[in-house]
């Protein structure tokens, strides 16, 4: 006997499952996007662009591999493309005070620390901020961060160490010495 009218065809069921898998990543994508961009509207655009690309390229995802890391890789690439475009237009990405959503509102004694942390994160270069957020906020392993950002694991560890040190200095009110970029 054929399929009933209430059952989904195999392709439709697979598409529904794919949609559900991608949709489960949206809260993490939104949090990371808000932290990266520092702006709610830009973050929403970044998530939308990431989701659009993930849905159209879903056939490239290898089942059994980490979907979250794959989606963060897409978001990273979209974000870098947006930064390149913004630089060409001389547009800057300011970090707003409400850029990082916190699950529980901080107590008053922590509110200033949170504001300082957000401001300090905004002063870090994108390379350091990305690694710090992926390790600290999204709890990715060094290996996962290396895959997401398409950099060697040693570079992840170096950027994490330097980023933490620069963040510590900024939080302590010390002037962070700008690093020279060597190519």
127-182 pLDDT, tens digit per residue, is 999 999 899 888 899 999 999 999 999 999 999 999 999 988 988 887 655 556 66
Q: Give me the residue spans of the domains in the chain.
A: 11-171
CATH superfamily of 11-171: PhyR, sigma-like (SL) domain (1.20.140.160)
67-107 pLDDT, tens digit per residue, is 888 999 999 889 888 877 766 665 555 556 555 555 555 55
pLDDT confidence of residue 1: 44
pLDDT confidence of residue 3: 47
Q: How confident is the model at residue 5 (pLDDT cuts 50, 70, 90)?
A: very low
pLDDT confidence of residue 95: 56
144-155 pLDDT, tens digit per residue, is 999 999 999 999
Token pair listed for 181: 């970029």
By the 8 A CB rule, do 135 and 160 touch?
yes
Answering whether pTM is above 0.75, one says: no
């Amino acid at each position: 006997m054929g399929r009933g009218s209430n059952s989904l065809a195999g392709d439709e069921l697979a598409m529904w499952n794919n949609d559900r898998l991608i949709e489960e990543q949206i809260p993490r994508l939104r949090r990371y996007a808000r932290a990266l961009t520092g702006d709610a509207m830009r973050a929403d655009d970044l998530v939308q662009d990431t989701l659009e690309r993930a849905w159209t390229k879903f056939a490239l995802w290898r089942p059994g591999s980490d979907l979250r890391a794959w989606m963060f890789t897409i978001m990273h690439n979209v974000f870098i493309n947006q930064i390149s475009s913004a630089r060409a237009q001389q547009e800057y990405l300011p970090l707003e005070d409400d850029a990082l959503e916190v699950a529980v509102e901080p107590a008053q004694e922590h509110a200033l620390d949170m504001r300082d942390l957000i401001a300090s994160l905004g002063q870090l270069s994108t390379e350091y901020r990305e690694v710090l957020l992926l390790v600290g906020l999204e709890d990715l392993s060094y290996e996962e961060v290396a895959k997401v950002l398409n950099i060697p694991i040693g570079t992840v560890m170096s950027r994490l160490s330097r980023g933490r040190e620069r963040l510590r200095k900024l939080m302590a009110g010390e002037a962070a010495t700008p690093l020279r970029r060597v190519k």
